[in-house]
Chain A
Amino acid sequence: MLCPPTGVLNRRCVEAAVMTGLALNCHINKKSLFDRKHYFYSDLPAGYQITQQRLPIAANGSLTYGVFMGNKQSRMATKTVRIRQIQLEQDSGKSLHDDLRSQTLIDLNRAGVGLLEVVLEPDLCCGEEAAAVIKELQLILQALGTSQANMAEGQLRVDANISVHHPGEPLGVRTEVKNLNSIRFLAKAIDHEIQRQINELESGGEILNETRSFDCKLGCTVPMRDKEGKQDYRFMPEPNLPPLVLYDSASLPAGTESQQVINIDQIRDALPELPSATRERLVRRYGMLPEHSFTLLNEVGLLQFFQNVMKETRAEPKKVTSWVLNTLLGYLKHHNLAVSESPVTSSALAELLDLLDSKAISSAAAKQVFEELWKGEAKSAAQVVSEKQLELMQDREALEQLCQSTMEGHPQVVTDMKSGNPRAINKLIGLVRKATLNRADPAEIKDILERLSS
């Protein structure tokens, strides 16, 4: 019989833990245990937190992530960070410090709610790697549906443990940095703390094993009050909770209530497609670079937009990829808009790409159409093309005549061209284009000119 003050474990917490453990390639412990971690703080009314220190629900996993290399962020390298363990635990309340009135306000609404803690091994070397890891973890959790992982809303909380050492020597004394509520601050705080420790050690100082907080206004880490010195948490087994036992299809006991039984194999079979698999699928199916697949997944809503365009257009995947990642994303970033706020819909872009694909317009004209569509005046691509008279000349004969007359009007340039001067032909192409009011494809003009002058 369980003592009521301990609380009762929610089945969904266990399922979420197993899903997350499987997604992170962990070994799922069929038996895991609960412990009490004791410390005094106003947001922990019981004076202890139930956690899984000795034998957590999952251990020894890995997370593979991509880091952009080089200045132009154009190449992608794949790295792996090891997962030490995943454990179920209770949340504490939330403290709001009111320094003005010298008091702390405690919100106990989330106290006792189930948490999943993912512990990583110290395989990371800088803020950028940590940021990439957390981004990937967010995508995985969102794909699993176990968390929306929004850091600003506290759905995902990250504490960083940082130390420095000379190569070949053992790990140095670590500090723990808390109060990181965005990926950007996480990277900044880590890089700042690394530098602070290096500076401290190089000037003969020492690093204290302390907890620090990231001050976003100052852009640096500062010691946190109340967390001085090494804590002795007096871990002990939680006397009110029996071990948590999980089953697989082989060990499933007959005749037990299905509500009380968790089958790891069943959960594994029901796992949704993970981000890494999605990216692989995009690369395989559409022939895009890995970097592109990362960008598509990293931007909220972009993958859906891309897939919607692909569904409605005849254009080649490479063209669609380029327009979505370069043109559309470029405009969105410039105007600081989310994909959901894009004035150009996926249907509009699909229509535009169809016009381009059928050579009804040139790519320069397509860019103009896009700019017009961006104004969001509910016109279709076709309407914009006809309004601005951007259609490509379809009359080949008329074009040839124009080329001919331009050549006759500029005999010197023609001579230069024939003698191999590359600038000469470009000048002719420019003249013909002007004559056609930009409604001819430069490549086609070049073709005709070369033929006529041979």
Chain B
Amino acid sequence: MSARALWLAFRSGLGGRQAFSTKGSGRITVEVIEHLERLALVDFGSREAVARLEKAIAFADRLREVDTDGVEPMESVLEDRCLYLRSDNVAEGNCAEELLQNSRQVVEEYFVAPPGNISLPKLGEQESFQHS
């Protein structure tokens, strides 16, 4: 990546389009943490982890100090490259047996999975996750 591209990346920043916004002075609510844990299947586990998250958000927020008025946001650092298109020919495949060996349990040529997504316990029903 050239120095000029790097500079552009800094200038465009997050703009006003980020998917995640913090409330108030940067403290993240319990609801947000639980929501994140369900979406991403991560386990924040402890107050320290949440504090780390808050610090990371504060760090990223500093990008907002950059004036991006009138600057087109960069969608991709690959924006000056061409998307490669492959021709409609079958070049690989026929490796079903090999791929099926990745799974502990198969039925004929199907992978076996549990009957559906196993829901996390509902809010309020779960035991506290305080590990560390």
Contacts and interface: CB of A to CB of B under 8 A. Distances in A.
A343 B81 CA distance: 59
Contacts of A41: 117
B82 A242 contact: yes
B132 to A, nearest CB: 25
> Considering the complex of A and B, which 10 residue pairs feature the smallest CB-CB distances, nearest first?
A42-B113, A105-B110, A242-B78, A12-B88, A11-B85, A106-B111, A242-B81, A226-B116, A104-B113, A8-B86
A19 B33 CA distance: 45
Nearest to B100: A108
Contacts of B80: 242
A236 B76 CA distance: 11
A102 interface: yes
Given A239-B76, A243-B79, A107 B19 contact: no
B81 to A, nearest CB: 4
Nearest to A224: B116
B2 to A, nearest CB: 16
A103 B115 contact: yes
Nearest to A55: B75
Residue with the greatest number of chain A CB neighbours at <10 A, chosen from B85, B109, B117: B85
Interface residues of B, number: 31
A225 to B, nearest CB: 5
28 contacts: A8-B84, A8-B85, A8-B86, A10-B86, A11-B85, A12-B88, A38-B40, A40-B41, A41-B117, A42-B111, A42-B113, A99-B115, A103-B112, A103-B114, A104-B112, A105-B107, A105-B111, A106-B111, A107-B109, A108-B99, A225-B116, A240-B78, A242-B78, A242-B83, A244-B83, A245-B82, A260-B84, A262-B85
B83 A241 contact: yes
Interface of A: 2, 8-12, 14, 33, 38, 40-42, 54, 95-99, 102-109, 225-226, 232, 234-237, 239-245, 259-260, 262
A242 B85 contact: no
B117 A226 contact: yes
Given A10-B85, A40-B41, A235 B19 contact: yes
A38 B84 contact: no
Nearest to A97: B115
B95 to A, nearest CB: 11
B79 to A, nearest CB: 6
A96 B110 CA distance: 9
Interface in B17-43: 19, 35, 39-41
A405 to B, nearest CB: 78
Nearest to A39: B39
A33 to B, nearest CB: 6
A107 B86 contact: no
B114 A104 contact: yes
Contacts of A8: 84-86
A2 B84 contact: yes
A38 B39 contact: yes
B110 A242 contact: no
Given A226-B117, A232-B39, A236-B19, A105 B83 contact: no
Contacts of A9: 83-86
A199 to B, nearest CB: 28
